[in-house]
Amino acid sequence: MQANGAGQGQESTELSCLNSAQNGESSSTGGNHSNGLLSGTDNGNTVGTSNGSSTGPGSGTSAASTTTASEVGALKKKKRLSQAEEDVIRLIGQHLHGLGLNQTVDLLMQESGCRLEHPSATKFRNHVMEGEWDKAENDLNELRALMHSPNAIVRMKFLLLQQKYLEYLEDGKVLEALQVLRGELTPLKYNTDRIHVLSGYLMCSHAEDLRAKAEWEGKGTASRCRLLDKLQTYLPPSVMLPPRRLQTLLRQAVELQRDRCLYHNTKLDSSLDSVSLLLDHVCSRKQFPCYTQQILTEHCNEVWFCKFSNDGTKLATGSKDTTVIIWQVDPESHQLKLLRTLEGHAYGVSYLAWSPDDTYLIACGPDDCSELWLWNVQTGELRTKMSQSHEDSLTSVAWNPDGKRFVTGGQRGQFYQCDLDGNLLDSWEGVRVQCLWCLGDGRTVLASDTHQRIRGYNFEDLTDRNIVQEDHPIMSFTVSKNGRLALLNVATQGVHLWDLQDRVLVRKYQGVTQGFYTIHSCFGGHNEDFIASGSEDHKVYIWHRRGELPIAELTGHTRTVNCVSWNPAIPGLMASASDDGTVRVWGPAPFLDSQEADGLNENCSNMDS
């Protein structure tokens, strides 16, 4: 961040700080001070006059005459204010002024020799706030010489006249408003489209109608403050500070600290009231979901897949034991309880997909499975068991955002679009599908295939295009909520992040062991800032999206971790499914003595040291 007002050169110094002549400084005090220190004030030194005495401009001679030689020497040695120090004083002054501490501001400016804003800007501000539009317009002529872009005068004049016009209309002074529109706004020959809109407000029958159509607060302090904020953007900060500049800088500092915090996983709050400005922001790893909260052992064979529902209230797990188990998430304790078991998937369950409204769940099997099951989760009833041909391999599925259709396919060349009853709506020949995803536009389906690529298929106009090309097989992929990023598990390579819009590889995440098993990774946490993946070395790896090295390695599973799912509604809750037959539920550290919590952390290795 650049210091506000820095880089203005000589003009900035002259405008933001009083010179020695303005301060009434006596020649006996030596050369001119660029910071405009008042010789009659103590500036923090022990001098004869009391702090805060009314020694203003013009009174320097009498003040200097009462100053002893030693005090004059002390003033000579007083460090001159740098540009950055002047900026800080002005920022503090502006903030105090906003709090109504005007006497404190006057004292601060007097003692430091600085000036909050240029006198012409102060006069301009007062005239705008008082609604004296003709005087404010005249002030623009004085400000013209201080501006870097003289053309900005026309824009500022337009904004002033627009406010004047709206206030006349609200007061019912239609003839005066018409005169402003025709005689003042139109001759500017600026923003004619806006002038046409403004002319339409003449037809408003009453003030409430005008305020609603113009999206305007109405005549008064609020709208004039908003006008001043817009006008200030055309003035150099040495002339008038941007509005609430200190709060803006503090907010930026807080946001930067949050961005750099590896474990920040709570909702972003832009209000400064939600943080302490006295300490740097830091989130403890103990608040992060890297501690085993629960181990689910109800499956009796390898667990191949797990997925939280879109609303975060349920978890579905699929296993080689031919069952799908639906778990209910307790909203308070975040403990999972078995809700129901869905049976009969002869080949096992290797993939699950919740419908957008979480009413239905589709289960797919491994490569040699030609069927898929569409379950009503609420009733536990099987709505559809679909199979187009015994030769098919239906191993992946994705829901259309409308919740009325889905696409499915497999490595034997099948790629279908179906309705909820399993009726075939469309098909695409010759696509050996590894994994599927429907984008939010409702038209485009992404499919990874055996050619180590992801292509986009449009079922409406039957077009397709290449989006991602890898050098090794893409075992699985998932897409961020906004549809911009794709997370790929690539055989022998690990986890790769792609930008689908720019079609570029953004990052390769390190640490995970990925061979030719199908492992599913996920986005997670608030704002999807984190990435988690299973691994063939029995661990769960977590990365911050912007960093290639893992921030946590979760241990506890004893065989390959096939899938990880992050709860979309509870950022501190995550589940992992493993060939060891268990599902582990991960959450923050329990509320223990800090020493005990450290000892409990055999599950989570810290990777940021």
State pLDDT tens for residues 274-330: 677 787 777 777 888 989 999 999 999 999 999 999 999 999 999 999 999 999 999
Of the two residues 399 and 51, the one the predictor is more confident about is 399
Q: Are residues 220 and 348 in the same domain?
A: no
Picking from 520, 521, 565, 528, the residue whose alpha carbon sits closest to that of residue 545 is: 528
Q: Residue 56: which pLDDT band, with cuts at 50, 70 and 90?
A: very low
Q: Are 212 and 293 found together in one domain? A: no
Residue 268: pLDDT band with limits 50, 70, 90: low
Residue 223 shares a structural domain with residue 334: no
| Residue at a domain's end among 240, 267, 299 | 240
208 and 292 part of one domain: no
591 band by pLDDT with thresholds 50, 70 and 90: low
CB 218 within 8 A of CB 170: yes
Residue 601 has pLDDT above 60, yes or no: no
Average pLDDT over residues 350-357: 96
**Residue 70 identity (one-letter amino acid):** S
Percent of the chain with pLDDT over 70: 82
* Same domain, yes or no: 295 and 360: yes
Quick one: 328 and 426 in the same domain? yes
d(CA 206, CA 170): 8
**Could you tell me if 124 and 221 lie in one domain?**
yes
290 and 405 both lie in a single domain? yes
Q: Where does residue 398 rank: exposed (0-12), middle (13-18), buried (19+ CB within 10 A)?
A: buried
pLDDT at 57: 42
Question: Which one is predicted more confidently, 476 or 284?
Answer: 476
Map tokens 């050369």 to a residue: 31
| 530 bridge partner residues | 524, 544
Residue 435, domain member (yes or no) = yes
Q: Is the pLDDT of residue 489 over 80?
A: yes
pLDDT at 34: 32
Residue 586 pLDDT level (bands cut at 50, 70, 90): very high
Distances (CA, A) of 571 to 152, 248, 575: 47, 28, 12
Query: Are residue 206 and residue 292 in the same domain, yes or no?
Result: no
pLDDT, residue 40, reads 34
Does residue 567 fall inside a structural domain?
A: yes
Question: Are 525 and 542 a contacting pair, CB within 8 Å?
Answer: no
Q: Is 561 inside any structural domain? A: yes
Q: Look over the chain and give the mean of its residue pLDDT values, rounded to a whole number.
A: 82
Give the CATH number for residue 352. Answer: 2.130.10.10
Q: Is the pLDDT of residue 67 over 70?
A: no
pLDDT at position 270 is 64
446 to 235, 399, 436, 468, 486: CA distances (angstroms): 50, 12, 6, 10, 10
Residue 117 — very low, low, confident or very high, per pLDDT cuts 50/70/90? confident
SS3 state of residue 379: coil
Residue 69 falls inside a structural domain: no
pLDDT of residue 269: 64
Of the candidates 207, 240, 273, which is a domain's last residue?
Answer: 240
Mean pLDDT for 499-511 is 94
Look up the domain containing 515 and give its range. 285-587
**Do 418 and 558 belong together in one domain?**
yes
Helices 133-144, 119-129: crossing angle, 10 deg rounding: 160
Q: Are 355 and 384 in contact (CB under 8 A)?
A: no
Report the number of distinct structural domains present in the chain.
2
Find the range with the poorest average confidence among 1-10, 324-333, 532-541, 590-599.
1-10
Residues 219 and 302 in one domain: no
For 297-370, strand residue ranges (E) read 303-308, 314-319, 324-329, 336-342, 351-354, 360-364
At residue 30 the predicted structure's pLDDT band, cuts being 50, 70 and 90, is very low
297 and 162 within one domain: no
In a domain, 267, yes or no: no
For the segment 428-457, the average pLDDT, to the nearest whole number, is 90
In a domain, 388, yes or no: yes
C-alpha triplet 141, 142, 146: angle, nearest 5°: 110
What's the pLDDT tens digit per position in 527-569? 898 999 999 999 999 999 889 999 999 999 999 999 999 999 9
**Backbone angles phi and psi of 575, in degrees to 5:** -130, 150
Q: Enumerate residues 6+ apart whose C-beta is below 8 A from 185.
A: 158, 161, 162, 165, 195, 198
Tens digits of residue pLDDT in 131-175: 999 999 999 888 888 887 778 889 999 999 999 999 999 999 999
- Residue 266 and residue 289 in contact, taking contact as beta carbons nearer than 8 Å: no
* Domain end point (choices 187, 207, 240): 240
Does residue 265 fall inside a structural domain?
A: no
- Within a domain: 68: no
